[in-house]
Structure formats: structure tokens, C-alpha cells
Amino acid sequence: MSWTDERVELLTKMWSEGQSASQIAKELGGVTRNAVIGKVHRLGLSNRAGATPAPAKTEPKPAAPAAKPKPVPEAEAKPKPAVEAPAPETRPVVSHIRKAIIPAGQPLPPQPSANEISPEALAKVSEIEKKAKKISLMELTERTCKWPVGDPATDNFWFCGLPVQAGKPYCEAHVGVAFQPMSSRRDRKR
DNA sequence: CCCTGATTCGC
DNA sequence: GCGAATCAGG
């Protein structure tokens, strides 16, 4: 397969949409993600959207003719203050879906905006929970979704156990409801 | 181990 | 120009 105009166009489009190289490669067919990445770079659109100022990474380029084989930088001396663990309690963060926590105090209007878990994501979750592996605590690994389901004080308690996405603790569906970063823009079309 | 993009370098 | 192999990270 070669990079026809159409293919380059699709590549450009998907890349700017934030699709991963592997997804693009799959969509295009006949190419690997490496090919896609390589093309992306050659096209000079490695920087997605240009919103990211790109802190400091590639070439400050002082026009130094000096070659750089692979000298290996210096070892980083990390200031290790010996003790570090002030955190007495971390916020659970997750908080199960519907369980609204009423502070019992005064009229505390819930955050106006920080609501709505994305009905789409919720639907996905209830659907995914049917297929969940329903594993126990001991069965959790670094690759299993750690989303708890049910009441821990009951027999009817298990963890999702589906394969996690990447470095996240949950499968994709649960990541979707656990984190509500911003702009929920995820289009899955196939 | 799964995935991500980045880079290199023979073709 | 191309992309597999490799690298570096999550």
C-alpha cells in the first residue's frame, strides 16, 4: 500500500482527531502503526493541534554540527528527603455512581456542572458489568479492572476484572465513568 | 503484558 | 519517502 492522497487525508484527519497511530493503521489497513507514525512525522504534524506548547523536548537546535550518537545523559540526582508520607488519607475519588452524598449540613447545592456522568458512559458500564469477570480481591492483577461492584459487606461483591486499558486501574468502560476529565469527546466508529 | 508515540537507519 | 526495529514511557 502506498500513501495516496486519500490515505494521507484520512491519516491527517484521524491524527488531528486524536486517534492513536494503531487505530489509524487499523482503519487504513495495509500499514502498521509504525508506518503511520513515520508518515505523521514526515508530514510534520507530529504536534497534534498545536495546543500544546511542547515544553522542552526535541532540539533546541543551536545549529550545532556536533553529532550525537548516544552518549547517555547524566544520572539524575534525586533529592530524597528520607521520609515522605504525610498523606493521612487520600480521597476515594471514585464514589459510586448514583450514591449522592448529602452532607447533612445546610442546603448545599451540588456542583452545578460537575454532574452528569455521561449517560453514554453509564450505559456502557451497566452493559460491561454483565460481562465482567467478577473476580475477587485476591485475583486482582495489574491488568484487571479494579472497579468494585456490590456491597463489600456482602457475598455479592466482586471486581470487574476485565482487562484494563493502559496504565489505568480500570477497564475502558469504568475509566469512562471514574474520570470525567473534560470534553467527553470519544467517538467510536467502526 | 498491554499500549502509546519518537527515533533511527537500511532500504 | 518508507517503515521495521528499536527506544522510552504509561
Q: Is residue A57 part of a domain?
A: no
Question: Residues A151, A157: contact at Cβ < 8 Å?
Answer: yes
Q: Which nucleotides of B are covered by protein (CB under 7 A)?
A: 1-8
Q: Which nucleotide is nearest to A166 (CA to C1')?
A: B3
Q: Is residue A67 part of a domain?
A: no
In which domain, by residue range, is A142 found? 119-189
Total structural domains within chain A: 2
Residue predicted with more confidence, A176 or A189 = A176
pLDDT at A2 over 80: yes
pLDDT at A159 over 60: yes
Q: Is residue A75 part of a domain?
A: no
A11 Cβ within 7 A of any nucleic strand B atom: no
Confidence of residue A163 (pLDDT cuts 50, 70, 90): confident
Give tens-digit pLDDT for A17-76. Answer: 787 898 899 888 889 999 999 999 998 887 765 444 444 334 443 433 433 343 444 444
Confidence of residue A78 (pLDDT cuts 50, 70, 90): very low
Q: Is residue A24 part of a domain?
A: yes
Q: Is residue A123 part of a domain?
A: yes
A60/C5 CA-to-C1' distance in Å: 27
Q: Is residue A27 part of a domain?
A: yes
What integer pLDDT is reported at residue A4 of this predicted model? 93
Amino acid identity, position A49 = A
* Angle (CA) A185 A186 A189, round 5°: 135
